[in-house]
Amino acid sequence: MISAGDFRNGITIEYDGKVCQIIEFQHVKPGKGAAFVRTKLKDVKNGGVVETSFRPTEKFPAARIDRKDMQYLYNDGDLYYFMDLESYEQIGLNADAIGDALKFVKDNEMVKVCSHNGNVFAVEPPLFVELTITETEPGFKGDTAQGATKPAIVETGAQVNVPLFVEQGEVIKIDTRTGEYLSRV
């Protein structure tokens, strides 16, 4: 059990029947009345953020989030298949649990599958990926005065804005958290 007085950023608790991560917290001691803890809680399953306050003595059970490295194999319609490399067990997850997480992930790449009490709620792609550009317009000399960008389609089908000097067929490095171009490889 974690008391509200011991809250820290990043701690995961069970609150109101949901698994929530503490984004921000602040201990408040008003001039009159009892102290309290003002918090921002993010529901890890649906991403909603709630602001609420607690007495410092309130206790909440700690939520254990399991992150397991698994290999993304392929998708078949609305099902995405992953394999545990230790036990070779395969699981299929529907598109609702995956969301937008795999738009930069190729087949056979490693991802982290997040679960709580055996229920998978999210897939975390690697922080950086290297992908080949399959489609983009050619860049022209003299167009690069202000660091302009152009749209490009990578091999997973996702669209990324890249600098004008990047050509079709080149391999680029992408930050999967923001979807931004980082560099050529």
128-184: same fold as 66-124?
Answer: yes
Asked if 2 and 59 count as a contact pair (C-beta separation under 8 A), the reply is yes
Sheet holding 18-28, edge to edge: 12-15, 18-28, 36-43, 49-54
| pTM, to two decimals | 0.69
Domain 2-60 has what CATH class?
A: mainly beta
Q: Is the dihedral of CA 28, 30, 36, 41 positive or negative?
A: negative
Question: What is the second-level CATH architecture of the domain 128-184?
Answer: Beta Barrel (2.40)
- Spell out, as residue ranges, where the chain has pLDDT lower than 70: 139-146
For position 39, what pLDDT does the model report? 92
> Which positions ≥6 away from 104 have C-beta within 8 Å?
125, 129, 131, 154, 156, 158, 174, 176, 179
In this predicted structure, what is the pLDDT of residue 144? 56
